[in-house]
Structure 1
Amino acid sequence: MASQSIEDHRSGAEVQTGHDLCEHKSREFLAELGLPDGLLPLPSLEEVGYNRTSGFVWLRQAAGVTHTFDSIGKQVWYDKEVTAFVEPGRMHGLTGVKSKELLIWVTISEIVLSPSGTKIVFRTPAGLGRAFPVAAFQLNPAAPAAEGEQKVETAASTN
């Protein structure tokens, strides 16, 4: 089914091939969407496509792979084809991704960034969700401010 969806959205899509370029492009589009750049750690990417008109994204790799996010102790399985519809802070209609919960693999159908931007929520087709810190999925987490530096904030005027 994923292959058919890819073919349906291929026309007008930006398509990249070759591992290095695909890895760069997948991280680039995740950052563009405001999602953590390590969310899709696919070691053998062969093709990445993004149809900006429909918001459809696909990633093809040589074989399915299991990845462990060490900081949260979660195993995630990525199929040979991963597809989703994307918009800022959200991937929905996701296919090809499962997370191991206790002894079973659970399908993930949606990934959403929390309004605060500090948590990322993974939802099943039944609507059940689990939140984790965004930093657990960042390849290059933001460095903490150096000692002596001050964070500058602006306050809205209440006239």
Structure 2
Amino acid sequence: MGLVTEEVRAKAEKYTGDEICREKTKVFLKEISMPNGLLPLKDIEEVGYDRESGVVWLKQKQSITHKFEKIDKLVSYGTEVTAVVQTGKIKKLTGVKAKELLIWVSISEIYTEEKEKITFKSPTTLSRTFPVSAFIVPEEVEPAKEEPVKEKSSEATEAKGVVAVKEV
């Protein structure tokens, strides 16, 4: 972890535990205007973010391979992913590779120039651009917010029914 020095670790916000780390990963992606599904990591042990330097690191128990269905691409995430981030850009990225034809290509930079397109660049300056929508995961929070509204609606309906009975 060349980017993550002891000085950076000392200043950074650090989180441990899969659930909080997944949540914080989504928050920081939103903060830098990147799609929420860009880092679909599992069993995350630690996330750190030094806002001053922009250094971010994520550690997971084991490396994973994820398929982005909308673009039919396999991406491998190592046990440690590090980067320097700023709004609309992830640079000095380590621990991420994408499969192109038969070989795995390291990804060193990700950026969005337009809101609808995201570009992935390799250290050899080869790049590929895709629609941002391929990396957006629907938020799971939305159905949870709807349920209490439905309950209130049924309570209101029941209350109206009771009022109607009393009036008759």
CA offsets, 1:65-112, max 9 Å, x none? 000001110000000000000000000000000000000000000000
Distance 2:107 2:127 in 1: 9
Matched AA of 2:32: L
Contact 2:18 2:45 in 1 (8 A): yes
Distance 1:129 1:53 in 2: 28
Identity of aligned residues (%): 49
- Which consecutive residues of structure 1, in runs of 5 or more, have no partner in the other structure? 142-159
Shift of 1:6: 2.2
Contact 2:3 2:83 in 1 (8 A): no
Contact 2:98 2:106 in 1 (8 A): yes
Distance 1:76 1:59 in 2: 16
Counterpart in the other structure of 2:131: 133
Counterpart in the other structure of 2:116: 118
Distance 1:128 1:56 in 2: 24
Aligned length: 138
Whose helix proportion is higher, 1 or 2?
2
Which segments of structure 1 move beyond 4 Å, counting only runs of 4 or more?
none
1:26 maps onto 2:25 in alignment: yes
Distance 1:44 1:69 in 2: 19
Task: Give runs of aligned pairs for residues 47-66 of structure 1, distance below 5 A.
Answer: 47-66=46-65
Distance 2:3 2:27 in 1: 22
Distance 2:45 2:136 in 1: 22
Matched AA of 1:126: T
Name which one, 1 or 2, has greater alpha-carbon Rg: 2
